[in-house]
A and B are shown apart, each in its own frame.
Chain A
């Protein structure tokens, strides 16, 4: 790791100011992605602006079915939030299976979403839930936010402040973890809301998280694992890497979708 200047921001405005002053600054939240990248010198920011202690970025708010999760909320805090579990247990379950306890106690939803790792869990949830990503400048629909591998609609000095969504009638998540990292080798989030069924797949797409039209179509007819018997997805745009090839991932998408639906239906 190269040396870097550390700043602890006291507010979102302060964070933006600190970043603008820096030569080549970066926001840091849990540091679970950025710090390893700095250790291997894939990233070498001159300054780190820490968002994790900004009070306005922390905590989960629930009013009726509307859920708002502050960007600096850790995975462990999401996993353990009983009120959230009562309206949307799938998101708590998802957070509870991110990485390992160390990662869950440091890593944050804002960092995960901003990073948009193609194998991260939250992007699947936010896309399937039709969530909105709230920044210091605007509100961005998940459909528009995740633009490719590690790519998002965020501008350099834009801070994610929260994510917000309406808890659907039913939703569920199933992932096949990469045995080494425990990221999703394939993860599927299914949600059945008033406006229909949305299914998002992570860990499998060549371009990161995506919605599966085949599975959405099948589940729109009947929101049950049996509706997916015989359904297959094309391996054409799926990822092949040392852990799994596209054909195997195509199989996992359907298997995980079945399991996600089964868990959504309880």
Chain B
């Protein structure tokens, strides 16, 4: 819609978007959501620079000489992730609350098990959740294990979707870690006869700040379980649980730019450049975030160009029931992606995370379609933009 408006007004699609960006936060939208923080211009600038937006016309000319129609399209997206405040979803009629749970168990030898309701089916929780635990106590990452998905072991939880594992699931872990840390500091203060407020955790040791007194983490864990010398009235052990119910959604945003070349003879589209500039707030693991974005873009390109479900109108039989007929995106349908992130921390949760799971699939389809419609000069194009549809749309455009 924004792209069409820009084309009809004869203004640059980038400028029209820039003019309409929200710049003051928090920003209450008319439809429930209150945007907490964002910097949309930074993503736009980063994407335009990476895509050499200014140099596009030259590239278009060059492609034309080779008989190809080149087009550029962008999309600026904002999504509501980190779902969600339980009361808010309750008011919308949901039958559940969208909090998340965590339990942190420090074993007697100092190894740590984290039981999370956020399931990992390829998102890499085993890595990212371990990172925040290892960072907190300065212990080796391989002494942390993440337990998920086993309902015999894991307490009630709500799961992974809506880019919520980082923003909601990890926040529950952080809350449980806070409790573990507080108890560990109490025990350390007792053992070293110091003030609780003077205990700091560094490099796997609990130290009395400004002195050379320290207790290694594993010894502290053992002390918690031998319970020979604990503060008066303290329960033995070192294991805490927490529930986290978010106070707001989180709002990842970004700018995607796609450049395509259309073969006018066949309507075939080749994606020749793809740029994604996302603002995910704080990032725990850049490589995993990049992987999530790659996967999302591949899915989004699949939706934009390839994937269509067809039924036989007479019998209702699904005609695209196998991959011989249903086109999943494959490696050779995809270009190399240029991805980058900016990091406006999310004020709503302890780690400042917005979430990145769906962004790639949200930002990419409009960018791809905008690029094709720009190339062929016809805005009327439905997804998936198969070669035949593009060819027909191009024919319709040149008839006028």
Contact = CB atoms under 8 A, between A and B. Distances in A.
Interface stretch (B90-98, B103-111, B173-181, B323-331): B323-331
A179 B391 contact: no
Contacts of A251: 265-266, 391
B386 A179 contact: yes
B324 A180 contact: yes
Interface string B277-321: 000000000000000000000000000001010100000000110
A248 interface: yes
B391 A180 contact: no
A76 interface: no
B247 interface: no
B386 A181 contact: no
Contacts of B308: 242
A180 B266 CA distance: 17
A28 interface: no
A252 B323 contact: no
B319 A242 contact: yes
B388 interface: yes
A98 B219 CA distance: 65
Contacts, number: 40
A255 B325 CA distance: 23
Contact of B325 (A176, A242, A245, A248): A242
B268 to A, nearest CB: 8
Interface residues of A, number: 12
Nearest to B306: A179
Contacts of B306: 179-180
A88 to B, nearest CB: 26
A179 B327 contact: yes
B396 to A, nearest CB: 13
Interface string A107-120: 00000000000000
A244 interface: yes
B326 A245 contact: no
A255 B265 contact: yes
Nearest to A259: B265
Given A179-B386, A242-B319, A248-B391, A255 B326 contact: no
Nearest to B323: A180
Contacts of A176: 266, 268, 387
Interface residues of B, number: 21
B394 to A, nearest CB: 11
Among B308, B324, B326, residue most surrounded by chain A Cβ atoms (within 10 Å):
B324
B392 interface: yes
A76 B201 CA distance: 62
B398 to A, nearest CB: 13
Given A180-B327, A181-B324, A255 B266 contact: yes
Contacts of A180: 306, 323-328
Contacts of B323: 180-181
A252 B392 CA distance: 12
A176 B265 CA distance: 11
Nearest to B319: A242
A244 B388 contact: yes
Interface string A230-249: 00000000000011110010
Give the most central of A180, A243, A244, A245: most B CB within 10 Å.
Answer: A180
B391 A242 contact: no
Contacts of B391: 248, 251
Contacts of A181: 323-325
A182 B343 CA distance: 42
Interface in B324-350: 324-328, 333
Contacts of B267: 248
Contacts of B320: 242
Nearest to A258: B265
A248 B327 contact: no
A212 B265 CA distance: 19
B324 A252 contact: no
A186 to B, nearest CB: 9
13 contacts: A176-B266, A176-B268, A179-B327, A179-B386, A180-B326, A181-B325, A242-B310, A243-B325, A243-B388, A245-B388, A251-B265, A255-B265, A255-B266
Interface of B: 265-268, 306, 308, 310, 319-320, 323-328, 333, 386-388, 391-392
Give the top 10 A-B pairs by smallest Cβ distance, nearest first.
A180-B327, A242-B310, A181-B324, A248-B388, A255-B265, A179-B327, A244-B388, A180-B325, A242-B319, A255-B266
